[in-house]
């Protein structure tokens, strides 16, 4: 049985050829496309979701101690087309975070490596889902009682 409080969803609407708008349950929107311009592609959104999820985790755990002076996270990987068809190869998430000198910065630096590890191993729903795998079911409206 599904927990209604745990459900998440987005609705995708085509806005023009190769362009789409995602809308979340709170009314937020995000435009993306197929890669013919500077809009994000779905693969770039996947990388954004992985890096963003872990960035939020690490920020929460470290900024309690000190505001960072720099905070950059890069997710990268190779898009493959092989016998398994289209998919991403190994994805690397690289953190470049620094904190000011002093006791507060030292406190943040001391938890920073553990924060990255905790995000990877337990906290980040996005990367955990990619690592563990999740069934994805495609449905056509009307075929499942819709």
| Residue 91's CATH number | 3.30.300.20
Same domain, 52 and 32: no
- Cα–Cα distances in angstroms (integers) from residue 70 to residues 48, 74, 80, 97, 99, in the given order: 18, 13, 32, 5, 7
Same domain, 33 and 49: no
Same domain, 63 and 81: yes
When pLDDT is averaged across residues 125-144 and rounded to a whole number, the result is 91
Same domain, 33 and 64: no
Domain that holds residue 36: 7-40
Q: Within a domain: residue 117? A: yes
Same domain, 66 and 107: yes
**Does 81 score more than 90 pLDDT?**
yes
**Does 146 score more than 60 pLDDT?**
no
Q: Within a domain: residue 66? A: yes
Q: Within a domain: residue 88? A: yes
- DSSP, collapsed to helix, strand or coil, labels residue 15 as strand
d(CA 66, CA 88): 35
Same domain, 99 and 117: yes
When pLDDT is averaged across residues 120-138 and rounded to a whole number, the result is 96
| Domain count of the fold of the chain | 2
- Would you say the pTM of this structure is higher than 0.85? yes
Task: Give me the pLDDT at residue 3, please.
Answer: 87
Residue 118, token pair as written in the block: 């905790």
Query: 27-80, pLDDT tens digit by residue?
Result: 999 999 999 899 999 999 999 999 999 999 999 999 999 999 999 999 999 999
Same domain, 48 and 32: no
Q: Within a domain: residue 145? A: no
Task: Give me the pLDDT at residue 4, please.
Answer: 83
Q: Within a domain: residue 138? A: no
Same domain, 54 and 121: yes
Query: 90-125, pLDDT tens digit by residue?
Result: 999 999 999 999 999 999 999 999 999 999 999 999
Task: Give me the pLDDT at residue 5, please.
Answer: 86
Q: Within a domain: residue 144? A: no
Same domain, 75 and 26: no
> Distance of alpha carbon 45 from its chain centroid, rounded?
7
Task: Give me the pLDDT at residue 2, please.
Answer: 77
Same domain, 28 and 74: no
Task: Give me the pLDDT at residue 144, please.
Answer: 59
């Amino acid at each position: 049985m599904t927990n209604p409080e745990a459900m998440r969803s987005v609705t995708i609407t085509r806005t023009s050829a190769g362009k789409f708008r995602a809308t979340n349950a709170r009314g937020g929107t995000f435009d993306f496309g197929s890669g013919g311009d500077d809009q994000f592609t779905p693969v770039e959104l996947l990388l954004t979701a992985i890096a963003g999820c872990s960035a939020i985790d690490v920020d929460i755990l470290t900024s309690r101690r000190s505001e960072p002076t720099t905070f950059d996270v890069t997710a990268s990987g190779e898009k493959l087309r092989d016998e398994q068809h289209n998919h991403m190869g190994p994805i690397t998430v690289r953190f470049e975070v620094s904190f000011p000198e002093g006791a507060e910065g030292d406190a943040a630096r001391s938890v920073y490596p553990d924060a990255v590890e905790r995000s990877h191993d337990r906290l980040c729903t996005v990367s955990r889902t990619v690592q563990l795998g999740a069934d994805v079911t495609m449905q056509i409206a009307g075929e499942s009682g819709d």
